[in-house]
């Protein structure tokens, strides 16, 4: 059986600790190519760059081919698939992101955005994040990554779907297990702080604060707080709201009908 080939990316930049730990977790089991932003691109979501991109080889991951790109995580995946790789990878792995991408935060996440780009091209993927910003904890969670990747690389994942995996803020002996669950409703909300601009213009630091919504038992946010790793299957191939389509279609389409004489 041939070794799988994984394309690794992130939104924190090519030299981020999380990307290094992700590489270390899978490098002995698969062929790997790394394509990541040349600087932090947190909050980039599924955005892309229209202008030219600069692609630079990086020697930071042993013999693994690695490149930094002057763009977003989506750009990195596009560059990997369209320019650097001769064959389609088995899977796209993104992370490890410091800070949760549970709940609705996944909509803003560049970590998730890179995986979405591959998912729309029928390449399955996994986005990895850790609840807190303590990157020292990545050493504790590294050993959980390969079992997750190994299982999902052999599982049937429908077109347009991927997994969003979050690790709880617990040391190794406190992690209770894995829960496959829907994503929750909690999210980061902006907390603007007024700042002084040298030219007197209006300027704010867009700080954020985690906002807890009432989470029904069973969501990723709920189980992360209980000490479980969460894996939320996310589907993006079909975004149409068919209930709204059926509700509005007939009457909406009539608004420009020519009046009868």
Angle 221-227-233 from CA coordinates, rounded to 5°? 45
CA distance 94 to 10: 5
Which residues contact residue 252 at a Cβ distance below 8 angstroms, ignoring those fewer than 6 apart?
none
- The 3-state secondary structure of 167-190 reads ECCCCHHHCCEEEECCCCCCEEEE
Q: Half-sphere exposure of residue 86, counting CA atoms within 13 Å on the CB side?
A: 1
Q: What is residue 158's DSSP assignment? A: -
What pLDDT, in 10s, does the model give residues 85-143? 999 999 999 999 998 888 878 888 999 999 999 999 999 999 999 988 888 888 889 99
Residue 84 tokens read as 């650097």
The Cα–Cα gap between 29 and 142 comes to 14
How far apart CA 123 and CA 104 sit, in angstroms, is: 23
Between CA 17 and CA 180 the distance in angstroms is 26
**Which domains, ranges and CATH numbers included, belong to the chain?**
5-186+215-252 (3.40.1210.10)
CA angle 94, 97, 101 (to 5 degrees): 95
Q: For a pLDDT cut of 70, what percent of the chain falls above it?
A: 91
Residue 36 vs residue 261, higher pLDDT: 36
pLDDT exceeds cutoff 80 at 210 = no
| Average pLDDT value over all residues in the chain | 90
> What DSSP string runs through 38-97?
SS--TT-TT----S---EEE---STTS-EEEESS-HHHHHHHIIIII-SS--SEEEEEEE
pLDDT at 186 over 90: no
pLDDT in tens, 33-66: 999 999 999 888 889 999 999 999 999 899 999 9
- Band (pLDDT 50/70/90 cuts) for residue 167 is very high
Which residues, 6+ apart, have CB-to-CB distance to 178 below 8 Å? 148, 228, 229, 230, 231
Question: Of the ranges 31-45, 129-143, 167-181, 195-209, which is most confident?
Answer: 31-45
pLDDT at position 252 is 94
pLDDT exceeds cutoff 90 at 202: no
Instruction: Report helix, strand and coil shares of the chain as percent, to nearest 5.
Output: 30, 25, 45
In a 10 Å sphere around its CB, with 0-12 CB exposed, 13-18 middle and 19+ buried, how is residue 140 labelled? middle
């Amino acid at each position: 059986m041939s070794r799988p080939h994984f394309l690794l990316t992130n939104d924190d930049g090519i030299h981020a600790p999380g990307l290094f730990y992700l590489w270390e977790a899978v490098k002995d089991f698969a062929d790997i190519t790394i394509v990541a932003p040349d600087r932090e691109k947190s909050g980039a979501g599924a955005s892309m760059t229209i202008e030219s991109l600069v692609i630079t080889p990086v020697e930071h991951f042993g013999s693994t081919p690695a490149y930094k790109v002057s763009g977003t995580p989506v750009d990195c995946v596009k560059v990997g698939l369209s320019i650097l790789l001769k064959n389609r990878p088995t899977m796209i792995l993104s992370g490890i992101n410091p800070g949760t991408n549970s709940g609705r935060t996944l909509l803003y996440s560049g970590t998730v955005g890179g995986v979405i780009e591959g998912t729309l091209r029928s390449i399955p993927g996994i986005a990895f994040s850790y609840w807190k910003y303590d990157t020292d904890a990545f050493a504790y969670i590294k050993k959980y990554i390969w079992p997750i990747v190994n299982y999902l690389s052999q599982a049937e994942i429908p077109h347009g779907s991927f997994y969003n995996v979050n690790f709880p803020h617990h040391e190794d002996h406190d992690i209770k297990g894995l829960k496959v669950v829907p994503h929750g409703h909690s999210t980061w909300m902006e907390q603007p702080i007024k700042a002084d601009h040298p030219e007197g213009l209006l300027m704010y630091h867009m700080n954020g604060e985690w906002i807890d919504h009432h989470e029904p038992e069973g969501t990723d946010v709920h189980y992360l707080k209980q000490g479980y790793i969460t894996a939320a299957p996310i589907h993006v191939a079909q975004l149409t709201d068919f209930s709204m389509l059926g509700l509005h279609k007939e009457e909406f389409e009539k608004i420009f009908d020519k009046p009868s004489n």
